[in-house]
Homo-oligomer: A and B are copies of this chain.
Amino acid sequence: MSTKSSPRAPARPRAAAPNRRERAIDLRAAGSAAAPTFKPIHTRRTFEEICERIREQLALGVLKPGDKLPAERELAQQLGVSRNVLREALRSLEMAGVLKLQKGVKGGAFIQQGDTRRMNEVMRDMLSLGTISVGELSEARVHVLDLVVRLACANARRADLDALEANIARTELATKEGRLLDRVECSREFYKLLAASTGNKVIAMIVDSVTEIHMRFVYAKVASSGVAMARLAEKRRQFLAALSDRNVTLASRLLRAHLESVQRMLEQDPGAMSLHVALADVQPGMRR
């Protein structure tokens, strides 16, 4: 990093050693009259600095999707850090969906197109950690989907409607062939397509993050009980018709009614509603 020039300097001059007591606090407290808290600081570690720099280059537009970072060994030398700590930074950025690391000659660290699934992971973590509840998630989903319906009625294009139609056909086929779990996958895709038809990727991202988790519960329920929503494709067609007619009121009412009936189905058997089951039970299309 910038704080290190000689490659073999043993001591890394870290952010202001917090060894001196009273005097230091006095000095800083004098700086701003109304700042009684002194917690943060949180000595910067090199990998954080590296992450930040790369993100800075991204925000500045110096780095763009598709670009390749220098090879690990070279970049480590340029930054004056060990390869290991550089890798910690690259790893973090990879997990964040910013980078993709590829092996082999001609491999390297490539800036990615943003991965919208990352928001799903955030939601999952928040749920796992108990920061948010299933109830809040469900409620948010209902409200956001209501918003989506209104926007979709206003903005959905022919291609969007066709995609939804094709999705319903797949749902129908899965139902006919008894592939109930595939049908759950179709449902998730349905909401994804619906959200996409708003033409707003931010909203689409939000919807998918919230839908992904919801569908895990549905999946767990269907897998354990074998019970599934009746007349699903039919209801979808009614909804799509309303959407095609740009009938906001009807479309909104139909979707809301459907969401409520699904909720009732889920709540029938609280045992299958276990957070742990739903979050742990991954399936092909639902892995992160």
Partner of A95, one of B56, B92, B200, B280: B92
Shortest distance in angstroms between A59's beta carbon and chain B's nearest beta carbon? Answer: 4
Cβ < 8 Å to B, chain A residues 220-242:
none
Which single residue of chain B is at the shortest CB-CB distance from A100?
Answer: B42
On whether the beta carbons of A122 and B122 are closer than 8 Å, the reply is yes
A257 within 8 A of B: no
User: Is A113 touching B129 in the complex (CB atoms < 8 A)?
Assistant: yes
Does A151 sit within 8 A of B, measured CB to CB? yes
Identical subunits present? 2
Interface residues of chain A: helix, strand, loop or mixed (majority): helix
A136 pairs with B202, CB closer than 8 A:
yes
> When the two chains form their complex, are residues A119 and B122 in contact, meaning their CB atoms are under 8 A apart?
yes
Question: Which A residues lie at the B interface, using CB under 8 A?
Answer: 47, 51, 55-56, 58-61, 64-65, 84, 87-89, 91-92, 95-98, 111-114, 116, 118-119, 121-126, 128-133, 136-137, 139-140, 143-144, 146-147, 151, 200-203, 205-206, 210, 275-276, 279-280
A7 to chain B, nearest CB (A): 19
Pick the residue among B55, B88, B136, B210 that contacts A91 (CB under 8 A): B88
Query: Is B116's CB under 8 angstroms from A96's CB?
Result: no
In whole angstroms, how far apart are the Cα atoms of A29 and B35 in the complex? 65
In the complex the two chains form, is B88's CB within 8 Å of A136's CB?
no
On chain B, the residues within 8 Å of A147 by CB distance are 143-144, 146-147
Contacts of A64 in B (CB 8 A): 130
| Measured CA separation A139–B280 after assembly (Å) | 35
Cβ of A166 to closest chain B Cβ, rounded Å: 15
Nearest-neighbor residue (CB-CB) of A95 within chain B: B92
Cβ contact of A122, chosen from B61, B65, B111, B118, cutoff 8 A: B118
With a cutoff of 8 Å between Cβ atoms, the chain B residues found around residue A146 in the complex are 147
Are A126 and B114 also in contact (CB < 8 A) when A91-B91, A202-B136, A280-B59 are?
yes
Q: Which residue of B lies closest to A150 (CB)?
A: B143
Which chain B residues lie closer than 8 Å to A55 at the CB level? 124-125, 128
Enumerate 18 A-B pairs (CB-CB under 8 Å) in ascending A order: A58-B128, A65-B129, A84-B87, A95-B96, A96-B121, A98-B129, A114-B129, A119-B122, A122-B122, A131-B201, A132-B201, A136-B201, A137-B202, A140-B203, A143-B147, A146-B147, A202-B210, A206-B206
Interface contact A205-B126, CB-CB below 8 Å: yes
